[in-house]
Structure 1
Amino acid sequence: MSGETQRMGVCAVLPDYRAAVAELPVTAALSESPRGSVVVVPGAGMWWDRALAARAEGAAALVIADPQDLPREAREVLRTLTGIPVIIERPRLRPDLVADAIQGRAGIPASIIAVECGAPASELSPVLRDGFGWARVFAGGPLSLLSGAATAQARVALLEPRERRAGPAVTVAGNVEAGHGPGGLLRILALGEVRSEVSVDQPAGLTRLETCTEEGGLVAPRRFEASARLALRRAFEACSTGEAVTDLEDFLDDCALGWGLAAFGTADQASV
């Protein structure tokens, strides 16, 4: 009975998250009510309005599942989501892989960061946004857009660290590649005394991180935990410890770079 009382309710309709609840029988239980539960908000459509509604209905925490486009005008809506943890599930930018990448560099900064993104036209913006996220990770903090170019088929951005005068040269490029399946591809290179290479093939469900130093190369172990399960565990931990999570702040920073890049291109590229 005591184990049952420790379980946290999860209000979710997405199959991946309902499966994740079944895999966490000690800590999670499906709930039909948002109040006091971790509410999983599907990231398609006007997901920001659904997140706000769940917050108003008494959700203990929110998980935004693989969010897609976010128009600039929705930014202020998201900034009102205060007082509860907000976990952003970004399968192309998994926190466990990020932690491995940072640990592998052992505090040694990169001098050049290059990110390449490929996706169908309808998905290039969110894939590019996660490319900005990886650039932020290897740069060690938020980035500012120096210049860029955006067309219907390609986007290129030159960036620099926002809060440091000296930092790595950062480029992020995205191309429309119709042959890719849903989710797109990412390849990230962080060069310098330590070389980090990340490959993310979301259609195939594959990620690879290799870190090379003067002592040789090391490929990080493959992570088998589903992205949805990881997001739920992080939400439970945030609720139990009260520690702040920066997912929403980081997400909006990455979105802002996409909005800025769109200003260099055609008027119909209005969101990332």
Structure 2
Amino acid sequence: MSEGLAFSVFTELPAYTAAVAELPVSAALAENAHGAVAVVPGAGDWWQGMLAARAGGAAAVVLADPAVLPLGAIDLKQWPGDVPVIVERPRIRPDLVAAAVAARRGTPARIITVECAAPAAGLGALICDGFGWMRSLAGGAVAFQSSIATVHSRIALLHAGDSQGGTVPATLSATAIGGPHAGGLLQVLALGEVRTEVTVDQPAGLARVETVTEEGSLRAPERYESSARLALRRAFDACLADGPATDLAELLHDMELTRALLDA
């Protein structure tokens, strides 16, 4: 922490440097991770980056847009619970998830479908976020049942449990498309008495949540705050909170499902 400011932030990522500049009262850039919120890039072996931040004395870690790591790359015994981890997942922003869940007003989904399309190199991360949306809208953990694989696509059959012990049938389909810079498209439908439609179009810079009820259609307001700035604010809150952040556990759950589908 920096004297006169709430938190110091150690980062080399331009998006986070800009986010710190947008939070002049609550944040300032730091020269190292000691006592700071350390931002770890999600490309490559980010687990080792997190361990390095911990060894450097980081007060908290922000994991920025993580890739899906191979099985066995993570050993949770190496991570202490007193160092909170906030995961920035731009395609499944917590504020959009909260808006989508609140708009359903407690009405359960009867079936959930997720469609992902991206270049092969980025398909894993998109699938992982698709599972995250599925879990969030179902209100409970997602369990893998079976899968179908072709050369360019994967289809998973799953069920998701709500907090009352019920289950929701779900499917996820993923297709590899285009070249390495084609971007990705994620669409989620939660169907029932209330319909929730989520569209994340990376090339267009679009993230939309729409809810349809018997009273009409409601679209969540557009978010102007950057994903990086939101992640920093959540990291500051996590440093002050009594309970542990759930981001890492949720990411690893979604990643386990992703690996099961990709390796099928």
Normalised TM-score (structure 1): 0.91
Cα distance between partner residues in 1 of 2:166 and 2:142: 12
String of CA shifts for 1:27-68, please: whole Å, max 9, x gaps.
000001101000000111111101101111110000000011
Partner of 1:123: 122
Pairwise mapping of residues 46-195 of structure 1 onto structure 2 (< 5 A)? 46-77=45-76, 80-161=79-160, 166-178=166-178, 181=181, 183-195=183-195
- Against the structure 1 CA distance between its residues 180 and 50, is the aligned structure 2 distance closer, same or farther, given a 3 Å change threshold? closer
Of 132-141 and 148-157, more deviation after overlay is shown by: 148-157
Q: Which runs of 5+ in 1 are unaligned?
A: 265-272
CA distance in 2, matches of 1:78, 1:139: 29
Identity of aligned residues (%): 53
Does the Cα contact within 8 Å between 1:91 and 1:202 map onto a contact in 2?
A: no
Task: Give, in whole Å, the separation in 1 of the partners of 2:245 and 2:183.
Answer: 25
Aligned to 2:9: 10
Partner AA of 1:199 in structure 2: T
Deviation at 1:82, TM superposition (A): 2.4
Structure 2 vs 1, CA of residues 35 and 182 (structure 1 numbering), >3 Å: closer, same or farther? farther
**Per the alignment, in what secondary structure is the counterpart of residue 229 of structure 1?**
helix
Distance 1:180 1:31 in 2: 34
Is the alpha carbon distance of 1:155 and 1:47 closer, same or farther for their aligned partners in structure 2, counting shifts above 3 Å? same
> Structure 1 residue 219: deviation in Å?
0.7
Q: Distance in 1 between matches of 2:10 and 2:182?
A: 26
Q: What is the deviation of 1:241?
A: 2.5
Q: Secondary structure of 1:114's match? A: strand
CA RMSD in angstroms comes to 1.8
Q: Is the 8 A contact 1:119 1:181 kept in 2?
A: no
| 1:121-270 matches, cutoff 5 A | 121-161=120-160, 166-178=166-178, 181=181, 183-264=183-264
**C-alpha deviations, 1:163-208, integer Å up to 9, x for none?**
7763221001100111684541100000001000000012222111
Aligned residue identity for 1:159: L
How far 1:5 moved relative to its partner? 1.7
Could you say what secondary structure the match of 2:35 adopts? coil
Q: Are residues 105 and 126 of structure 1, via their aligned partners in 2, closer, same or farther at CA, if it must alter by over 3 Å?
A: same
224 and 206 in structure 1: CA distance in 2 versus 1, 3 angstrom threshold? same
1:166 and 1:141, CA in 2 relative to 1: closer, same or farther beyond 3 A? Answer: closer
How many Å separate the matches in 1 of 2:246 and 2:165?
24
Whichever residue aligns with residue 222 of structure 2, its letter is: R
1:183–1:238 distance in 2 versus 1, CA, 3 Å = farther
Distance 1:78-1:157 versus aligned 2 partners, 3 A rule: farther
Matched-pair contact (CA < 8 Å) for 1:197–1:210: yes
- Secondary structure class of the residue paired with 2:199: strand
Letter aligned with residue 171 of structure 2: T
Figure out how many residues of one structure are paired with residues of the other and give that number. 262
2:185 and 2:8 map into 1 onto residues whose CA distance is 34
Whole-Å Cα distance in 1 between the matches of residues 147 and 84 of structure 2?
34
C-alpha contact (below 8 Å) 2:134/2:160 kept by paired residues: no
Q: TM-score, normalised by structure 2?
A: 0.94
Q: Give the conservation status (yes or no) of the 8 Å contact 2:87–2:247.
A: yes
The 1-side partners of 2:77 and 2:204 are apart by 31
